[in-house]
Chain A
Amino acid sequence: MAIVETRLTGKIGSLTRLQITQFLFGLAIIFAIIKPLLPEFLVRIPVEMILPYDIWLQTLFDFIKDDLGLLTVTRGISSVLEWFLDITANLLYGKRRWPNIGPVPWVAIAVVAAVIGFWLKGWKMALLAGGTFVWVALIGQWKLAMQTMSVIAVAAPMAFLIGLLLGICAWKYPRFQRAIMPVLSILQTLPFFTYLLPAVIFFKVGPTAGCIATIIYAIPPMVLMTTLGLKKVSHEVVEAGHMSGSTRWQMLRYVYLPAARTEILVGVNQVIMLCLAMVVLTAFIGMPGLGAKLLSLMNSLKLGRSFEIGITIVLIAVTLDRLSKAWVVKQPEHFERGTSWFVRHKLLIIGIIAFIVSIILAQFVQVADHITRKQDLSMGKDIDNVIRAILANDIITGVTDWLRWFLITWVLIPFRNALLWLPTGSVILAMAAFGYFVGGRKSALLVVIFFGVIALTGWWDRSMITLYAVISAVILATLIGIPLGIAAARNPKWSEPILLVCDTAQTFPSFIYLIPAIMLFSVNDVAVVFAILIFATVPLMRYTIEGIRAVPSELLEAADMAGATRNQKLLKVQLPLALPTMAVGFNQAIMFAFFMVIIAAFIGTQDLGQELQKTLAGNNLGKNFVLGMCVSLMALAFNHIIMRWSNDRRKALGVG
């Protein structure tokens, strides 16, 4: 690749990459200076040149939906899905559907969770898994949590199966892989509002739509990890499989899949995490349970109880995360020949017995069966008061009032106005310069096409406002996250707790951040940037810590021997080597920011998110998709440039 690249640059003439970058950037600046003299299409695409993509897309969707009869197909799929959902719903929270035996009492589920935890990783895991479910029951959220779990219990296995199949196909047929990869990238960057509307229209409002949206959201990492795992299977293993005369199916089932077990299980872990990330968002399209309750609590400003729901979601996420990770490292157990079935499966038997005993117990003890509102230990009101007291603290309000004034008048509004003032041509050229500097002609071209398409859709100004919020938040997140990450990485005692905070902050439903953000800064851009900031700082911190920790110890020793001080070691050895990993964190921060900026529409913005929110009401699928693509294209452009840089840098450093 690198060779091709140099040949390409060579063709242009004797100009170096830096010179071309400078030329493009200079052109961008000249465009900005001579703005009044520029032809109109370089300042903003004139209205008559903007084609009605939304109407075309709407027509296309209508055609596929009604004339090609896709709606009948999807409604058929959703009735199958509904059948599965009804079963889990009946078992977990007693919805009146076949098989009509539920709900399973909470004690039984908690006990089984504890046994599974013990089987995977011993007592500590048993305590975490069982404890999570006990917490959920005691806090009085059992039914809500089970409504949520009843959908995830269907969505996660489906996403796993579909992802696995697509991953195998992508590995088997390179052409299929080339076709599916861009689709997956788009799926990963498409704002969640864009998933929701088609889900409702094609799969009927309610748990089915929520289930479908969750599945689509969770598939991409499963496909990627499966392909990655299968590609890594070593030659010797494959040879051995062939020598024992395996058929193609046997090769896949007994050779490839077991050998790729670790990657596939990492994929499973990702699927579960993404499913939980959708719990609140899918509440907009009829997913019952914790998410729906959270939204209605927030609408009556019950901070305390929404906070408790947030803790429940985090606990469930952490439990499932740890359980699935324990499953990744757990090796299959082997027994001596002749060991009896009972010994081999003693934990399974213990689990079944415990399950039956707790069901019987629940028949006689009401508290073991379900906990009513008056019996639960919810402290919503008290937490409410604590949060309010913190937010009303004079020192805090003093600081936030000043910050609000400073950021609005001196940073955000000027930056925003500047971005909106810049001619479209100027912005595209500057992005092209950026792309050229990092990845040469191909990257520059890609970036120009992506931003060019945005300009042609006519949503340029809205896109720039979105971009402005993302850039402001990511810059602030970098200023906060990287120093914190470095400090944590240098002190091993700190890094574990900080990583735990990162985990929590990431799984805590982002919606809950919105209210404190508004109470601190009121409805304006500072609150929007603040809400994005919380979310975007996490990956920056995490990857900084992990990047610095992964620096080989030999290099550190070498630096020590050369007599480097602590600071020299950091600046000359650790940071340069950690930089490619930190860039991945930076990339994630930008992706998270693009995700969160759309959610920030609930605070009140004037960007693409606001328009997207409007399309939900009107069932305007075409416009919804155009807006979604604008967000996706911007995110993809940044993703491409940063990942390109990180990979090149890694190659140059010879790490990975």
Chain B
Amino acid sequence: MKFKYMLSATAMTMAVVSGAFAEDSSDPIIIPIHNWSSQIVMSHVVGQIFENMGNNVEFVTTDSQAVYESVRLGDVSLEVEVWEGAFGASFNAAKEKGGIHAASEHSAVTREDWWYPLWTKEACPGLPSWEALNACAAVFATPETGDKGRFLGGPVDWLKHDQERVDALGMNFTVVNAGSAAALWAEIGAAEKNKRPIVLFNWTPNFAEAVWEGEFVEFPTWVASCNEDPSVGPNPNATYDCGNPADGYLKIAAWDGMKEKWPDAYNTLTQISFTNPQIAQMAKFVDVDEMEPEDAATAWLDANKNIWENWTK
């Protein structure tokens, strides 16, 4: 590794472009960053690993859905957090058009489902079972939902089928969709002051776990055909009568041209894989310890040399 590093470093400093070695291009590898901390820090972690290998790296701020089109066209080179639930659809759509593929899969699993902060349990002790939640729906009632409970869902474009689930399970809840992740946090923040019970959409790994303790509501366990086959699940006549998968994938996507343009960096990228606690720690550096993302990435890399140095060999 050391030899390779020195080689590419020399090549860099002398600005010699040699055709004899299958060497990484000196063009910058462009890494997109979005607006949540774990993704920003992880992008910087990956970026700093590449820089250690002698590559040029640049970061660009983009929308988290529109980014797959940009990866496909090669405008940006990779994407470090492809969530099954949130971005699976955009990723697959781009993959069908060609130009993008999954380079690696994190060992971290993702879960996105109904969630409540721990203080909610005082008002509704039977939690986390969904039947218990349904029984105390009145606790979650608000002026606009009347006597039904209010469930605060994520933005509609996350396509979470909450309304279908409420109907299928005959729950006494109304689904209200927030317009952004920030809106969800603002609601928890507001509920926190007088420990108002609240049930809303949340996911893991996420900074919110470090700020507010809470649990996911346990719905009937997800099985593959639950969303297509009415006979599966507790309600024999409806689809969506179960929870979301508790172990969704988290992948790294790359532009198809990356392999040829930066073979070494690409090879490293295919080996990168983070776990849930590692991702949570990256987010915590920024969200709780108030570090800047670049510094958080450096701190993480310094503390975890044994993990990432293997990937660069």
Considering residues A300, A605, A619, which has the most beta carbons from chain B within 10 angstroms of its beta carbon?
Answer: A300
Binds B, one of A199-207, A265-273, A314-322, A632-640: A199-207
The answer to whether B190 and A285 touch across the interface, beta carbons within 8 angstroms, is no
Interface pair B179/A205, CB less than 8 Å apart: no
A519 surroundings in chain B (CB, below 8 A): 186-187, 189-190
CB-CB under 8 A for A518 and B187, given A205-B70, A205-B76, A285-B62: yes
Bound CA–CA A602/B156 (angstroms): 11
B304 at the interface (CB under 8 A from A): no
Q: Is the CB of A602 within 8 A of B186?
A: no
A204 touches B75 (CB 8 A): yes
Contact A296 B37 (CB under 8 A): yes
Q: Which residues of B contact A603 (CB under 8 A)?
A: 178-180, 183
CB-CB under 8 A for A601 and B207, given A96-B56, A296-B40, A616-B65: no
Task: Give, as a whole number of angstroms, the nearest-CB distance from A213 to chain B.
Answer: 13
Whether A283 contacts B66 by the Cβ 8 Å rule is: no
Residue of B whose beta carbon sits closest to that of A288: B61
A28 contacts chain B at the CB level, 8 A cutoff: no
Roughly how many angstroms separate A514 CA and B182 CA in the complex, as a whole number? 9
Residues from chain A with a CB closer than 8 A to the CB of B28 are 96
Residues from chain B with Cβ under 8 Å of A523 in the complex: 152, 176-179, 183, 187
Task: Looking at the assembled complex, report how far the CB atom of B268 sits from the nearest CB atom of chain A, in whole angstroms.
Answer: 21
A283 to B35 CA separation, bound complex (whole angstroms): 10
B146-180 contact mask (Cβ, 8 Å, vs A): 1 or 0: 00000010011100000000000000000011111
Interface of B is mostly: mixed
Interface string of A194-236 (1 = CB under 8 A from B): 0000001000111100000000000000000000000000000
A286 and B190 contact, Cβ closer than 8 Å, known pairs A300-B36, A300-B37, A300-B286: no
Flag if B182 contacts A381 (CB, 8 Å): no
Given A299-B36, A408-B144, residue A600 in contact with residue B60 (CB < 8 A): no
Q: Of B34, B76, B176, B185, which contacts A524 at CB under 8 A?
A: B176
Which of A200, A522, A524 is close to B190, meaning CB atoms less than 8 Å apart? A522
Q: Which of A365-420 contact B (CB under 8 A)?
A: 373, 380-381, 388, 391-392, 397, 404-405, 408-409, 413
- Asked whether A604 lies within 8 Å of B75 as measured between CB atoms, the reply is no
A298: Cβ under 8 A from any B Cβ:
yes
Q: A200-B66, A286-B61 are in contact. Are A299 and B144 (CB under 8 A)?
A: no
Q: How many residues of B contact A (CB 8 A)?
A: 54
Instruction: Given A205-B75, A603-B178, A617-B90, check contact A301 B144 (CB 8 Å).
Output: no
Contact of A604 among B35, B56, B179, B193 (CB under 8 A): B179
A96-B56, A524-B144, A604-B176 are contacts. A301–B65 as well, Cβ < 8 Å? Answer: no
Q: Are A300 and B287 in contact (CB under 8 A)?
A: yes
- Asked if B181 lies at the interface with its beta carbon under 8 angstroms from chain A, I say yes
Q: How far is the CA of A600 from the CA of B179 in the complex (A)?
A: 8
Whether B96 is near chain A, meaning CB under 8 Å from some CB there, is no
A292 at the interface (CB under 8 A from B): yes
Contacting residue for A284 out of B37, B63, B189, CB 8 A: B63
Q: Is A610 an interface residue (CB 8 A)?
A: yes
Report yes or no: B66 in contact with A617, Cβ–Cβ below 8 A. Answer: yes
Given the complex of chains A and B, what is the CA–CA distance between A519 and B183 in angstroms? 9
* A313 within 8 A of partner (CB): no
Contact B190 A391 (CB under 8 A): yes
Given known pairs A413-B144, A617-B157, the reply for A388 and B183 (CB within 8 Å) is no
Residues from chain A with Cβ under 8 Å of B37 in the complex: 296, 299-300
- Do A614 and B157 form a contact, CB below 8 Å, given A518-B186, A524-B144? yes
A602 B157 Cβ-Cβ under 8 A: no
* Chain B hits for A296, CB < 8 A: 34-37, 40
In the complex, how many angstroms separate the beta carbon of A410 from the nearest chain B beta carbon? 10
Interchain CA distance A564-B254 in the complex, whole Å: 77
B62 touches A205 (CB 8 A): yes
Given contact pairs A392-B193, A614-B156, A619 touches B69 in the complex (Cβ within 8 A): yes
Tell me if A506 counts as interface (CB < 8 A to partner B).
Answer: no
Query: Do B156 and A518 touch across chains, with their CB atoms under 8 A apart?
Result: no
A-B interface pairs (CB < 8 A), number: 152
Q: Measured between alpha carbons, how far is A397 from B193 in the docked complex, in Å?
A: 10
Interface string of A171-214 (1 = CB under 8 A from B): 00000000000000000000000000000100011110000000
> Shortest Cβ distance from A377 into chain B, in angstroms?
14
- Pick from B223-231, B272-280, B290-298 the stretch touching chain A: B290-298
The CA-CA distance from A15 to B35 in the complex, in Å, is: 61
- Measured in the bound complex, the distance between the Cα atoms of B19 and A522 in whole Å is 61
Q: How many angstroms between the C-alpha atoms of A300 and B181 in the bound complex?
A: 9
Closest to A409 in B: B143
Contact A522 B65 (CB under 8 A): no
With a CB–CB cut-off of 8 A, which chain A residues contact B186?
301, 514-515, 518-519
* Distance of A621 Cα from B89 Cα, bound (Å): 18
A380 touches B290 (CB 8 A): yes
A388 touches B189 (CB 8 A): yes
Which A-chain residue is minimally distant from B283 (CB atoms)? Answer: A300
Contact B182 A515 (CB under 8 A): yes
CB within 8 Å of B: which A261-313 residues: 283-288, 292, 295-296, 298-302
**Which A residues are CB-close (under 8 A) to B177?**
523, 604, 610
Contact B179 A616 (CB under 8 A): no
Q: Residues of A contacting B287 with CB < 8 Å?
A: 300, 302
Q: How far is the CB of A436 from chain B (nearest CB, A)?
A: 37
> Are the C-beta atoms of B189 and A522 separated by less than 8 Å?
no
Once A296-B35, A296-B36 are accepted as A-B contacts, the answer to whether A610 and B75 lie under 8 Å apart by CB is no
Residues of B with C-beta under 8 A to A647: none
- Least CB distance from A467 to B in Å reads 19
Whole-angstrom distance between the alpha carbons of A525 and B190 in the complex?
17
**CB 8 Å contact bits of B252-292 with A (1 = contact, 0 = none):** 00000000000000000000000000000000001100111
**Across-interface contacts of B35 in A (CB, < 8 A):** 292, 295-296, 298-299
Within the complex, the shortest CB–CB distance from B278 to chain A, in Å, comes to 18
Question: Is residue B92 contacting chain A, with contact meaning CB distance below 8 A?
Answer: no
Contact with A along B119-130 (1 / 0, CB 8 A): 000000000000
Q: Is B53 an interface residue (CB 8 A)?
A: no
Q: Give the contacting residue for B63; candidates A300, A301, A605, A616; CB below 8 A.
A: A616
**Does residue B67 face the partner (Cβ distance < 8 Å to A)?**
yes
**Would you give the shortest CB distance from B29 to chain A, in whole angstroms?**
13
B142 at the interface (CB under 8 A from A): yes
Residue contact A206 to B60, C-beta cutoff 8 Å: yes
A520 to B191, CA, bound (A): 10
Q: A508-538 vs B: 1/0 string, CB under 8 Å?
A: 0000001100111011110000000000000
Q: Which residues of chain B come closer than 8 Å to A285, judged between CB atoms?
A: 62-63, 66
Q: Which residues of chain A are near B295, meaning CB under 8 Å? A: 373
Measured in the bound complex, the distance between the Cα atoms of B183 and A610 in whole Å is 14
Contact between B179 and A388 (Cβ–Cβ < 8 Å)?
A: no
Query: Nearest CB to that of A381 among chain B residues?
Result: B290
For A200, give the chain B residue with the smallest CB separation.
B66
- What is the CB-to-nearest-CB distance from A388 to chain B, in angstroms, rounded to a whole number? 7
Query: Which residue in A205, A373, A408, A613 is a CB contact (below 8 Å) of B157?
Result: A613
Contact B155 A518 (CB under 8 A): no
CB-nearest residue of chain B relative to A601?
B179
| C-alpha gap A616/B144 in the complex (Å) | 29
Q: Give every chain A residue within 8 A of B40 (Cβ-Cβ).
A: 296
Residues of B within 8 A of A287 (CB): 61
- Closest Cβ of chain B to A382, distance in Å, is 12
Q: List the A side residues contacting B207 at CB < 8 Å.
A: 300
Selected A-B contacts with CB under 8 Å, 25 pairs: A205-B60, A205-B76, A206-B75, A207-B60, A285-B62, A286-B61, A287-B61, A292-B33, A299-B36, A299-B180, A299-B181, A300-B287, A301-B189, A405-B143, A518-B183, A518-B186, A523-B152, A523-B179, A602-B182, A603-B178, A604-B179, A616-B63, A616-B66, A617-B65, A619-B69
Beyond contacts A296-B36, A524-B142, A616-B65: 18 other A-B pairs, Cβ-Cβ < 8 A, are: A200-B70, A204-B75, A205-B66, A205-B67, A206-B61, A207-B60, A288-B59, A299-B180, A302-B287, A381-B290, A391-B190, A514-B186, A523-B183, A602-B183, A616-B63, A617-B90, A618-B93, A619-B66
4 tightest A-B contacts by CB? A617-B65, A392-B193, A518-B186, A604-B179
